[in-house]
Amino acid sequence: MLLLHLFSLVTVIGADSSTCTGRITSLLTNGGFEDTNLRDMPRGMTTGDNYQIPGWTCQKLKGQCDECGDIDSAYAPYDYDTCIIHAMPRGPFGSFDSGDGSKFLILHGRVGVTQTVDDLKAGEEYIFSFKAAERNGYGNGEVFRLIVDGKVIEKSRNVPVAFTDYSYTFTAASSGSAEIELLNVSPHIAAGDGHTIFVDAVSLELSVDCGEGAACHTAIDGSGYTCKCDGRGYVGHDAANEKAKCVDVTTLGADDALKGKVGVLQEEMTAVEDGVKRLMEDGAGVKSSIEIASADILTLQTFQTATENATKATQDDVESLKNQLADANSKIQKLADSVNTLIASNTAMATDLVAALTGAKASVPPVDKEPEPDVAFAPEIIGQAGGINLKLQQGRHASVNGEMLLTADEVSSLIKAAIENALSSVGAAIQ
């Protein structure tokens, strides 16, 4: 019972035998359409008319279409017939999700995509698979057609609203290459829109033949496959990425058959032990990774807290600077007002000063009255070298042509008095 339980455990852990292909990666280029650059278009899509989809050729189904057969030969494609790459969940086609990446192909109207694959093994069987869905709300007339090397593999197949898996097989030609065409052959409807098919997760894989009595088990991580002799009545050793050599137990003697089964079970037990050991090692690694991740998270949280505190301090500093700047601006405004007041005051003062200077008049005080003439005093005129000296009565002045001559002191006193009178007049005008 223990051996049977362990054998079952190996089957569960080892792989899923429901479907099996001999691939590590798909033989197609850009089968998930993730390599298409949308050029950051706001609607999340780009059309094949103005931008080629890497790995694929977009074609409109127009004129004579021999491989289409039932499509009208006179059909003239509409402008909306195009191949589109849609980025989930943006764009006008809703939030469809195929479960494979973030982008998928849209065959909008009567169009199709083509890709040629080389380096196939002639005569070997290959599996072509993809996911497809129709555009919701536009009827249920969406139909696709699959053609390989000009041969119709699927002539007409409706697709549902939800993404659904489709798989088809074909045998590689002797040339070792295959031209694959996936077409939207839906009946066209009113101009302005058309039946639309969504496509994603397109792949081409080598079909696996594990040999008689063996079944194919794809590795959990998708890296290769294992052929197991788990067919009823067969015994043999597992084979990685190749056919298993299974033996029909009915062709063996009882002892050999038992020996073979025990040997296989021992191998399975060893595989289980190795698997459990790896799981334990992986568990220890996961635990260590969790601890490291926890420490990193704690560090990030600490950093985040420090950053938030620093940000708050910076915000406080910025707010303080704003207040200081506002106060400085207020003081500058007051200073500007004071300067403007002084300028206005000086302007007014200058105006008054100009008016005062313009209107001010200087007055010359009168000369002191001369004393009465002394009849007993005899004036004298004495000649000197280069001039004459007049000897007059004290306080009296000489005259020339009736005009009195003043002494230097008298002239100085008169000028000083005139200036003082003028300044006094200006001061009185600007007060």
Do 13 and 128 lie in one domain? The reply is yes
55 within domain boundaries: yes
**pLDDT per residue as tens digits for the range 72-88:** 444 455 566 788 888 77
Residue burial 256-273, b: 16+ Cβ < 10 Å; e: rest:
ebeebeeebbeebbebbe
**pLDDT per residue as tens digits for the range 363-395:** 667 777 778 887 787 788 888 777 788 788 777
Residue, of 251 and 92, whose pLDDT is higher: 251
Q: For residues 88 and 67, what is the distance between their CA atoms, to the nearest angstrom?
A: 33
Query: What pLDDT score does 3 carry?
Result: 35
**pLDDT per residue as tens digits for the range 162-204:** 999 999 999 999 999 999 999 998 876 654 556 889 999 999 9
Task: Give the total number of structural domains in the chain.
Answer: 2
Do 45 and 174 lie in one domain? The reply is yes
Domain range enclosing 91: 2-273
Of the candidates 273, 294, 326, which is a domain's last residue? 273
Of the candidates 242, 273, 304, which is a domain's last residue? 273
User: pTM for the full model?
Assistant: 0.49
Of the candidates 226, 253, 273, which is a domain's last residue? 273
